[in-house]
Amino acid sequence: MKNKLNNILYKLKYSNLPREPVQIDIAITKECCLKCQFCDCWKRKKEENEVTIDEWEKFLSEVKEWTKIKFLCIGGGEPFMKKGLTDLLRFCAEKDILTVVITNGYLMNDKLIKEVIDSGLQKINFSLDGTEKTHDKLRGKKGVFKKVNYVIDKFKELKPEMPIELSTMINNANFKELPKFVEWIQKNKNIDSVNFQAIQRVVRYDGPEWYKKEKLWPKDLKKINEIIDKLIYLKKKGYKINNPTSQFKMFKKYFENPENTDNLYCKAGFSSIPVDCKGNVLLCQKQAPIGNILEKNIRKMYYNRKSKNIRKKSKNCNEKCHFLINCYYDER
C-alpha cells in the first residue's frame, strides 16, 4: 500500500514535463594522484582534450542565463589535479553559484588551502574510508589518512564556518569498523557530517554480474546487516550521519542483491546535469550523451529529443541500475 502511494506521488513529482535542473555535476578531470583499489580513474589514459577552465566558465554563464541552479558539484578524477580550479571556484562565487568540491585531499598544502578558502568555495567533501590502516590500504598509499586529517584541521582553523563533510564508501574491507569510525567522527569537532556510499562499479561497468567479480564486495551478509543496523541506531541517536534511514535500509537490500532495484526511483533528466571532463552531458549513466557543452547550448540540449526520451525512460526504467543507490538515491 505504502509502495503504491509512493509510486503515485513519485509520478506526480516527476511528471513528463522537465523541470529545470537544480544541480550540475562535473567530472572536471580524469587525472588522479592516487591508485584506489575500488576506482579505475587512475587506470585510464590521460585525456588530451579536457574542457578548459575558460570553457567551463562559458558553460556556467550559459546555465546562469537560463536557470538558477542550486549548486555545482565538482568531482573527477581528483579535482585538484586540474590547473586553474581555484579560478573556476572564484568565478562561481562571483556568479553566486554555490560550489561543492569532492576530493581525496592528498594534494592540498597550506598555500592551496588558503587559496581555496579565498576563492569563496562553500563546501568541501573529503573522502575518508575508515581508520588510518584501512584508508591508506584502500587508497593505495601510506600517509593519505594523516594528510586528509591535517587538511581538515587546517580548513577549520582558517575558516571555522566552512562545512566539512566526509564521504565514506562501504565495502568489504571497512564495513566491520564503521561503528567505531562513526564514534571517531562524533568526537572530531572539525568534521561536520559523514555521508555513506555503497560500493558500486564506477568508470568501467562490467555488466549485471559485476559485483560477483568485485574483490571489495561485502561477503558476510548477516554481519553487514548488523553493521548497517548499528549505523541506523547511531543516526537515530543524533550522530553526525547525513544519509536518511531509508537509504541505509536500501543499502541492506542492495548488498543482498544489487540487481534488485525495486523501490529505487530514477530521476535521470529531472534534477541534475552530469557533465564529463570532455563536456559530454550524460543524463543517464547507461545511454549516449544528449550532446556536448562545447558544441551545443545547454538549455537546448536539456529540452532536445534525446533528453525527452531519457526522461520518459527513467520514469519506468527496467534496467537493474546500481547507479541509483548513491548520488542518484531519491528518498521517499
Ligand X SMILES: C[S@@+](CC[C@H](N)C(=O)[O-])C[C@H]1O[C@@H](n2cnc3c(N)ncnc32)[C@H](O)[C@@H]1O
Write out the residues near ligand SF4 by the rule CB under 6 A. 32, 34, 36, 39, 41-42, 76-78, 104, 266, 268, 284-286, 313-314, 317, 319, 321, 323-324
Q: How far is the CB of 7 from ligand SF4 (least distance, A)?
A: 15
Task: Estimate the crossing angle of helix 221-236 against helix 178-187, to 10 degrees.
Answer: 20
State the nearest-atom distance from the C-beta of 187 to ligand SF4, in Å.
Answer: 26
Closest approach of Cβ 170 to ligand SF4, in Å? Answer: 14
Q: Counting contacts by CB under 6 A, is residue 200 touching ligand X? A: yes
319 binds, among ligand SF4, ligand X, none (CB under 5 to 8 A by kind): ligand SF4
Judged by CB, which is closer to ligand X: 169, or 281?
169
199 binds, among ligand X, ligand SF4, none (CB under 5 to 8 A by kind): ligand X
Nearer to ligand X, 74 or 273 (CB): 74
**What is the closest distance, in whole angstroms, from the C-beta atom of residue 248 to ligand X in the complex?**
15
> Is 272 a binder of ligand X (CB under 6 A)?
no
The residue (of 119 and 307) whose beta carbon lies closer to ligand X is 119
The residue with cell 535500509 is 249
73 close to 26: Cβ distance less than 8 angstroms: yes
Closer CB to ligand X, residue 82 or residue 315?
82
Question: Does 197 interact with ligand X (rule: CB under 6 A)?
Answer: yes
We find the least distance from the C-beta atom of residue 203 to ligand X, in angstroms, to be: 8
Site size toward ligand X (CB under 6 A) is: 17
50 touching ligand X, by CB under 6 A: no
Q: Applying CB under 6 A, does 39 fall inside the site for ligand X?
A: yes
Rg (CA), the chain: 20
For ligand SF4, give the closer residue by CB, 79 or 218.
Answer: 79
307 binds, among ligand SF4, ligand X, none (CB under 5 to 8 A by kind): none
CB 172 within 8 A of CB 219: yes
Residue placing its CB nearer to ligand X in the complex, 78 or 276: 78
Residue 36 CA: distances (Å) to CA of 121, 128, 136, 230: 26, 12, 9, 27
In the complex, the residues that contact ligand X under the rule CB under 6 A are 32, 38-39, 41, 75-76, 78, 102-104, 127, 167, 169, 197, 199-200, 202
